Each structure stands twice: as C-alpha cells, then as structure tokens.
C-alpha cells in the first residue's frame, strides 16, 4: 500500500526506494492547520516512519526561524514571512487561516494511490485540497493543489506544492538555462542563502530556463549520492522558488504562472494546478536522470515504447522556399538513405514566403501549390516514406486573412499596442471558438493528407496578453491558453491514433513534463552544430529521455555557427537521440550519401536501446573534451564516444563502462572479443577515438552484446 496512515494526522507515502512522510500540525492556540513534510529520503518501514513523526521538530524561534519551509503549501497568512506558495485576497483582505477539514485516501488505476488533504479557511468560504499521488513503480511523487471559491476571490499565487529538502551541511543546486540556439545549458553551483527564482514569464516554458531544479548536499556525483529533484509539469509561464533560510532549511516551491498575475475566481469556481513532481534518488545525478526517464516512459509519454522513425526535415535545406519539385527530389534522396519519415517545414501555406505573413491561413500556398499539396505528399508517400507537415496553430500574422476576419482572436489588452515578435501575435487558445477552428483545420489537414506527423511549432512568447471581454478574470488566459493547446492536441490524437506530434517552440522553448503527455518527441534547439548540440543534449538528458529528443544531422560548415565537422561526428551526436537528417542532401557528395546510408542502417540496429534503454553519461564535458554516453537495454550495450579536440593531451584514454552485469560476458560487435562486465566496468576499453594523436572530431559507436 503506497499511502500508509501512521496515525490520525500522519501518512507515509512509499515509493520503491523512498519514503515521504507528511503530517498535519494543528496549532493548539489558534486551531490553524499546517500540513508539513516530516521526512523525504530513503525508504523506511512503517514503524520507522512512525518514529520519524515522534522526533523533535526543527527548532523554531519566535524571532527569526520560521517553520514554514517544511510546510506542504506555506500560505500568505499567520506568522509567516517567506515566499508564499498560496496567496489570495478576499476583497481588501489578504491572509489565509486554514483549518483541517479532512483527509481522504483514494485507490487509483495501475496501483497508484492518492491522498487528498482538505483544508478550509476559518472565516471565508474558501477550500484548499492538497493532492499527492504515489505509484509502486516510480520514485516520482506527483503533487497538485485545488482551490475552491465560495465567494469571489483573487488568487495571486498558487503553487502546486512546496518540497522541503532535509538538513545537510551544504547544498548545491542544478538546473538548465539558456537562450535561443543555446538551450539546456547545465548549471550547478552552491545554493545561495536567500531565494533563488527560476521562472518563465513568457506564456511558454521558455528557452531561458527549464522548469526543474535539483538539490544535492554538495557531494553527489554522476553515479553516487543523494539528489532531490523538483519539476513543474507545465508548458506555460511557471515559477520555481528555492529558499535557503539563513538559519538552515531548504525548500522548493513550484507551480504555474509568474508574479503579477491575478486569477479572479467567481463563487463556485475552482482552480486546479498542474502537477509538481518530486524525486528522491540515491544514485547521483545519473541515477536521478534514469529515474526521471523511466517515469516519462511509464507515466507521461503517449507512445513510450515505439521505435521513433528516422526523419528528414527540409527546414535548413530550403527554409520558406518550399516547392513540390525540390521536396520530391530531397525525398527521393532521403528515401535512398533509409530515412523513414519526411517532414515539410514552414512555407507550404498561405502566402508564406518569409516570417512576416500568413500564420492562420492554413491552406496550400496558392502560387506554389495551385493544385494543392496532394501531388507532393502522395509523391513522397509513394517513395515508401511516412509524411509530416510543420504547423504553428497558435501563431497569428497580422498580415493574414484570419487576422482580418478575427482581430479579437489574438491575445491582447484593451488600449495597449499589439507588438509583433517574429512578425506575429498569439491566438487565444482559451477561447472555445479558436480551439474549434484549430481542431477543425488540423483534423481536415491530417485526414485529407493521411499525415503521420505534425511538427507543432510556437515561435512567439506572450506579451500584452489578455482577453478584454473577460474583465477581471482575463489573466486566466495565461493558464487556459496552455490547457487549450493540450486539449487540441489530445482531441486530435484521439481522432487520429496513428498521428505523432513533435513539440517545438522556436527551438527548445517548450520542453517539459506537461507537453510530453501530448507529444512524442521535442525539438531541443535550432542550433544543429554537433559540438553545441552535445552540450544541449547533456542538459536535456538530465530530465528527459533520448526517445523524446529529436536530433538532426545538418550541413558542414554548420549554417548557424559556420563550424565544419566530419559527417561521422555529426551522425554520432545525432544518434544519441532520435536520429534525423536536416541537411541539404542535394549538395552532399556521393561519398557522403553512402556514409550517411551506412550510419542510418547502424542506427536502426541500436535505436531501440538508445531510445528506450537506461542511459549513463560516462565521462567528460560533452562537446568540450573526451566524453561518452552509454545505453543499456536487454542484452545490448551501445556506447557513443566523442573526442572533439584530437590532440588534447589531457583527459582519460580508458573508458570504463557502467551498469553492466559484472559476472556476464559481453561480446564486442567490431572484433568479436569477449570481456566480463567486471572487466569492462573496472578496467574499461580504449576507444580509438580517445587515443592521443589524431584529428579533431573523432567519434565512434561501440556496440556490445551480453552473452
Ligand atoms: C522554428 C523552428 O525551431 C525551426 O525548426 C523551424 O521550424 C522554424 N521555426 C520555421 O519557421
């Protein structure tokens, strides 16, 4: 039983290797209820968990040591001074005084259990439900909050939950940050005393930061040590506040929205947050990542165990200048290489010759495709390829038939400018009519062309975002837009079970555990330079599995960075995720095409392991020095080895594998030699690409089979 009642007010939530103990403390003087976390760490027996609840609490002094860091949802109210996870105003009165109204345990599908702790304000008709879900096959705990208004209330902060990280002598934080073409840069450092806020105010997940943070006690390594991770499963604006009190005590509170938004609820309305996910792991950062990946496969991704096809995408080759003849030519070459899915990117619709027009006009470009898209798409399918199209359903160009007909469909504020970014505005997916319109044309497009795949792009963060007709409630568009996007994706998939969707937002602006419920893979960055991409992939892999990471081989020199790199290196980097090709194949030499075909065939032999296996980041800073990444599934072991700077004297030359059976024999595919797992993990192998003197950008694929 994952949720174990310890007494009337305490519960132990048990996952395969962790325990999370919570209890509701009631102030004897005021009657105020504060649900608290009393333990989050290695798995305890129910008896030990019960003992934990009896241990003396942290010392709380009346001057400066607030107890709220341990609360499951510290509210703005009572004697608290920290960053509130829940803040509301009843008319002119802020401050909540919550009383315990009950607790319910629910059995859910698949052996999951949910605990709901019910609270109610002492005076105002306002209820709060804290929900916690545990499952028997993952250490990830899902938490969320529901608030119900009995009278009008303005909500100015509503986090999904606050997580307390147990006391340690020192703390570090890890997270990924970035910018366009430089997403998912891993940052790790000492956790400062004070409040550290990672946030997106963009209405989308953003390139600037990804909605997760991991805390360790300053001593975790890639494969050892305790790590506490928190991630917000949401694709709109979000905020994660990590607090380290000067007196000690660390907590991470996370949820949707950013500061300044005000969600007004009418009597009878409720607001439910997305989930915030918490994971405790003792296997270092690598162990934590593998636990996140397994959670994604087990409980998030819609098609977790499918082998993702090798795709070709024409964006870098043709940009907006899409024509039937040139796409068919590319498709012919792509098919001859072993590519399985052909995706036509931006430029096929409206009068889309550049990024200034036509978003909203989802009919074939009249000059380029006077007879429609069927000739081109059927021609591609006749080559044995699956077919996909780029769309940006939330995009709206002022220069479009749609905008002329429905200017009010754009997110906008009364008496404010409608500034464009990348020549566009954002359609308000909170509106029923907009969602109906979007589902209508997407459904027709997919049906008419039997599309296998959509690349769903979103190139415009929100600004001046509102819905004037909704008056005081209009800030809810920051939530309802995202839910509207989820809903259209969900309904589209329901109508077309074979359809697969890629999430993209001007590169990696929408990568998170919210969108991964509705999409099969995501585009991590518009930067396709293999060296830069290694850094991006390293950051991506901290939370998300390789099966969700789209990666293309493009031209050399790279169109963005101008860096030249051998084809093999570019392939080996892209083979670490879902392999795609995005170069201008009409300019590749016959030798390059031959190598590409050979590498695609190799990828197909290992892709199940790469995409769905346990991933180990073996060594080195990817993209900057010798590094390697290993995947293990069933009897196959796949290692991708990289050496960007051939003549570097420093760094390891021996590569020790990990996660193998020490007693078993493993056979190397290249020469048939057989080594014990113990030898491979203890002594290692000496990859040719890592030996000292040689060219820059050497790489290799090592495949072993367990006998
Ligand atoms: C941004 C995406 O990240 C690119 O891959 C491409 O699809 C362009 N948009 C098209 O406008």
Residue 255 has pLDDT above 90, yes or no: yes
Region 51-56: mean pLDDT is: 90
Helix (H, G, I), strand (E, B) or coil at 87: strand
Task: Phi first, then psi: give them for residue 47, nearest 5 degrees.
Answer: -65, -45
Distance from the CA of 298 to the center of ligand 1, in angstroms? Answer: 30
Residue 698 has pLDDT above 90, yes or no: yes
Distance from the CA of 456 to the center of ligand 1, in angstroms? Answer: 10
Lowest mean pLDDT among 91-100, 271-280, 607-616, 639-648: 639-648
Residue 65 has pLDDT above 80, yes or no: no
Region 170-192: mean pLDDT is: 97
Decide: 138 and 299 in contact? Cβ < 8 Å: yes
Distance from the CA of 505 to the center of ligand 1, in angstroms? Answer: 8
pLDDT per residue as tens digits for the range 432-484: 999 999 999 999 999 999 999 999 999 999 999 999 999 999 999 999 999 99
Helix (H, G, I), strand (E, B) or coil at 414: coil
126 CB under 6 A from ligand 1?
Answer: no
Q: Nearest Cα to 514, choosing from 542, 489, 539?
A: 489
Residue 59 has pLDDT above 80, yes or no: no
Q: Would the annotation count 456 as a binding residue?
A: yes
Residue identifier of the C-alpha nearest atom 11 of ligand 1: 346
Instruction: Compute the distance between CA of residue 83 and CA of residue 69 in angstroms, rounded to an integer.
Output: 9
Reported confidence tier of residue 247, pLDDT bands at 50, 70, 90: confident
Task: Phi first, then psi: give them for residue 51, nearest 5 degrees.
Answer: -60, -40
> Residue 457 catalytic?
yes
Share of the chain above pLDDT 70, in %: 99
Two tokens at 285? Answer: 């950062």
316 CB under 6 A from ligand 1?
Answer: no
pLDDT at residue 580 in the model: 98
Mean pLDDT of the chain: 96
Residue identifier of the C-alpha nearest atom 2 of ligand 1: 506
504 CB under 6 A from ligand 1?
Answer: yes
From 121, 526, 529, 555, the catalytic residue: 526
C-beta atoms surrounding 569 within 10 Å: 24
Distance from the CA of 459 to the center of ligand 1, in angstroms? Answer: 8
456 CB under 6 A from ligand 1?
Answer: no
457 CB under 6 A from ligand 1?
Answer: yes
Instruction: Compute the distance between CA of residue 296 and CA of residue 514 in angstroms, rounded to an integer.
Output: 11
Q: Would the annotation count 558 as a binding residue?
A: no
Residue 266 has pLDDT above 70, yes or no: yes
Residue 63 has pLDDT above 70, yes or no: no
Distance from the CA of 282 to the center of ligand 1, in angstroms? Answer: 39
Q: How distant, in Å, are the alpha carbons of 67, 81, 95 from that of 76?
A: 13, 8, 5
Q: Which of 424, 506, 523 to mutate to test the pocket of ligand 1 (most atoms within 8 A of CB)?
A: 506
Instruction: Compute the distance between CA of residue 289 and CA of residue 544 in angstroms, rounded to an integer.
Output: 7
Closest ligand 1 atom number to CA of residue 507: 3
DSSP 452-468: SEEEE-------S---G
395 CB under 6 A from ligand 1?
Answer: no
Q: Would the annotation count 565 as a binding residue?
A: no
DSSP 117-144: EEEEESSSSEEEEEEEEE-SS-SEEEEE
Residues 6+ apart with CB under 8 A from 283: 223, 224, 227, 290, 291
Helix (H, G, I), strand (E, B) or coil at 147: strand
Residue 424 has pLDDT above 70, yes or no: yes
pLDDT at residue 385 in the model: 98
Map tokens 């589902």 to a residue.
439
C-beta atoms surrounding 221 within 10 Å: 11
Instruction: Compute the distance between CA of residue 12 and CA of residue 45 in angstroms, rounded to an integer.
Output: 9
Q: Would the annotation count 457 as a binding residue?
A: yes
Decide: 662 and 681 in contact? Cβ < 8 Å: yes
Lowest mean pLDDT among 450-454, 554-558, 694-698: 694-698
Q: Would the annotation count 523 as a binding residue?
A: no
Residue 649 has pLDDT above 80, yes or no: no
Which of the two residues, 549 and 79, has the higher pLDDT score?
549
506 CB under 6 A from ligand 1?
Answer: yes
pLDDT at residue 692 in the model: 85
73 CB under 6 A from ligand 1?
Answer: no
Residue 8 has pLDDT above 80, yes or no: yes
Q: Would the annotation count 361 as a binding residue?
A: no
H or E segment at 608?
helix 590-612
- Burial (CB count within 10 angstroms: exposed 0-12, middle 13-18, buried 19+), residue 268: exposed
Q: Which of 456, 457, 458, 511 to mutate to test the pocket of ligand 1 (most atoms within 8 A of CB)?
A: 457
536-545 burial, b if ≥16 CB within 10 A, otherwise e? bbbbbbbbbb
Q: Would the annotation count 441 as a binding residue?
A: no
Instruction: Compute the distance between CA of residue 316 and CA of residue 318 in angstroms, rounded to an integer.
Output: 6
Residues 6+ apart with CB under 8 A from 599: 567, 568, 571, 575
> Backbone dihedral region of 154: left (phi > 0), alpha (psi from -120 to 50 degrees) or beta?
beta
Residue 64 has pLDDT above 70, yes or no: no
Q: Would the annotation count 159 as a binding residue?
A: no
Two tokens at 495? Answer: 């109508």
Lowest mean pLDDT among 583-587, 670-674, 691-695: 691-695
Reported confidence tier of residue 202, pLDDT bands at 50, 70, 90: very high
> Residue 432 catalytic?
no
Q: Which of 345, 507, 559 to mutate to test the pocket of ligand 1 (most atoms within 8 A of CB)?
A: 345
DSSP state, 299?
I
Q: In what order do the strands lie in the sheet with 521-522?
A: 521-522, 500-503, 453-456, 386-391, 341-344, 311-313, 578-581, 550-553
Share of the chain above pLDDT 90, in %: 94
Distance from the CA of 405 to the center of ligand 1, in angstroms? Answer: 26
Instruction: Compute the distance between CA of residue 302 and CA of residue 306 in angstroms, rounded to an integer.
Output: 10
Q: Nearest Cα to 256, choosing from 141, 419, 147, 411?
A: 147
Establish how many alpha carbons lie within 13 A of residue 101's alpha carbon, considering only the half-sphere containing its beta carbon: 14
Task: Phi first, then psi: give them for residue 187, nearest 5 degrees.
Answer: -130, 130
Q: How distant, in Å, are the alpha carbons of 282, 658, 673 from that of 220?
A: 9, 17, 35
pLDDT per residue as tens digits for the range 124-173: 999 999 999 999 999 999 999 999 999 999 999 999 999 999 999 999 99
Residues 6+ apart with CB under 8 A from 49: 4, 6, 12, 19, 21, 39
Task: Phi first, then psi: give them for residue 138, nearest 5 degrees.
Answer: -150, 150
Instruction: Compute the distance between CA of residue 41 and CA of residue 281 in angstroms, rounded to an integer.
Output: 8
Q: Which of 315, 421, 550 to mutate to test the pocket of ligand 1 (most atoms within 8 A of CB)?
A: 315
- Burial (CB count within 10 angstroms: exposed 0-12, middle 13-18, buried 19+), residue 138: buried
Map tokens 């050892």 to a residue.
224
From 139, 159, 457, 555, the catalytic residue: 457
pLDDT per residue as tens digits for the range 279-306: 999 999 999 999 999 999 999 999 999 9
200 CB under 6 A from ligand 1?
Answer: no
Report how far apart the first and last C-alpha atoms of the chain are (Å, whole number): 38
């Amino acid at each position: 039983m994952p949720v174990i009642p310890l007494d009337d007010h305490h519960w132990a939530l048990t996952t395969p290797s962790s325990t999370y103990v919570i209890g509701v403390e009631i102030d004897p003087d005021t009657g105020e209820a504060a649900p608290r976390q009393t333990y989050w760490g290695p798995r305890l027996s129910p008896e030990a968990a019960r003992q934990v609840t009896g241990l003396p609490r942290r010392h709380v002094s009346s001057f400066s040591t607030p107890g709220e860091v341990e609360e499951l949802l510290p509210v703005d109210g009572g004697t608290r001074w920290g960053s509130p996870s829940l803040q509301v105003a009843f008319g002119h009165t802020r401050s909540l005084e919550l009383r315990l109204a009950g607790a319910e345990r629910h059995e859910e599908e698949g052996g999951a259990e949910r605990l709901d702790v019910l609270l109610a304000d002492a005076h105002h008709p306002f209820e709060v439900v804290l929900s916690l879900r545990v499952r028997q096959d993952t250490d990830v705990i899902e938490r969320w909050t529901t608030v119900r208004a009995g009278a009008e209330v303005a909500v100015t902060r509503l986090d999904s939950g606050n997580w307390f990280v147990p006391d340690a002598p020192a703390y570090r934080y890890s997270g990924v940050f970035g910018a366009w073409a430089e997403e998912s840069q891993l940052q790790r450092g000492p956790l400062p005393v004070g409040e550290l806020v990672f946030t997106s105010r963009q209405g989308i997940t953003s390139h600037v930061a990804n909605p997760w943070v991991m805390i360790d006690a300053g001593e975790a390594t890639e494969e050892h040590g305790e790590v506490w991770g928190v991630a917000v499963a949401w694709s709109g604006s979000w905020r994660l506040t990590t607090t380290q009190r000067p007196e000690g005590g660390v907590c991470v509170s996370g949820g949707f929205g950013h500061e300044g938004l005000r969600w007004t609820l009418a009597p009878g309305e409720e607001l439910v947050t997305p989930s915030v996910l918490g994971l405790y792991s003792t296997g270092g950062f690598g162990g934590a990542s593998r636990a996140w990946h397994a959670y994604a496969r087990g409980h998030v991704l819609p098609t977790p165990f499918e082998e993702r096809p090798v795709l070709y995408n024409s964006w870098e080759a043709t940009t907006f200048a899409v024509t039937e003849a040139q796409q068919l030519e590319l498709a012919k070459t792509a098919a001859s290489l072993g590519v399985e899915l052909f995706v036509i990117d931006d430029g096929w619709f409206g009068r889309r010759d550049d990024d200034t027009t036509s978003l909203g006009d989802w009919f074939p470009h009249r000059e380029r495709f006077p007879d429609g898209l069927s000739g081109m798409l059927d021609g591609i399918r006749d080559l044995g390829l699956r077919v996909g199209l780029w769309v940006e359903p939330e995009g709206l160009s002022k220069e479009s038939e749609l905008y002329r007909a429905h200017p009010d469909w754009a997110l906008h504020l009364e008496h404010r400018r409608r500034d464009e970014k990348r020549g566009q505005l954002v359609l308000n997916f909170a509106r029923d009519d907009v969602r109906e319109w979007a589902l209508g044309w997407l459904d027709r497009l997919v049906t008419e062309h039997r599309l296998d795949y959509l690349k769903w792009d979103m190139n415009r963060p929100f600004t001046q975002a509102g819905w004037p007709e909704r008056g005081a409630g209009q800030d809810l568009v920051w939530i309802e837009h995202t839910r509207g996007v989820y809903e259209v994706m969900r309904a589209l998939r329901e109508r077309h079970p074979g359809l697969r969707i890629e999430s993209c937002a001007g590169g990696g602006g929408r990568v998170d555990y919210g969108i991964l419920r509705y999409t099969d893979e995501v585009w991590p960055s518009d930067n396709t330079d293999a060296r830069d991409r290694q850094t991006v992939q390293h950051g991506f892999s901290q939370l998300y599995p390789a099966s969700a990471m789209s990666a293309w081989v493009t031209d050399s020199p790279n169109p963005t960075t101008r860096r030249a790199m051998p084809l093999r290196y570019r392939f080996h980097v892209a083979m670490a995720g879902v392999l795609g090709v995005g170069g201008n194949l009409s300019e590749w030499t016959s030798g390059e095409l031959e190598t590409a075909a050979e590498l695609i065939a190799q990828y197909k032999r290992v892709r199940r392991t790469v995409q769905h296996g346990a991933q180990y980041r073996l060594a080195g800073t990817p993209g900057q020095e010798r590094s390697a990444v290993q995947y293990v599934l069933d009897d196959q072991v796949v290692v991708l080895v990289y050496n960007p700077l051939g003549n570097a004297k420093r760094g390891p030359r021996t590569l020790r594998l990990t996660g193998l059976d020490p007693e078993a024999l493993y056979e190397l595919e290249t020469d048939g030699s057989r080594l014990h797992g113990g030898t491979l993990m203890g002594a290692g192998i000496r990859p040719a690409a890592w030996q000292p003197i040689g060219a820059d950008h050497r790489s290799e694929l090592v495949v072993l089979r367990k006998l």
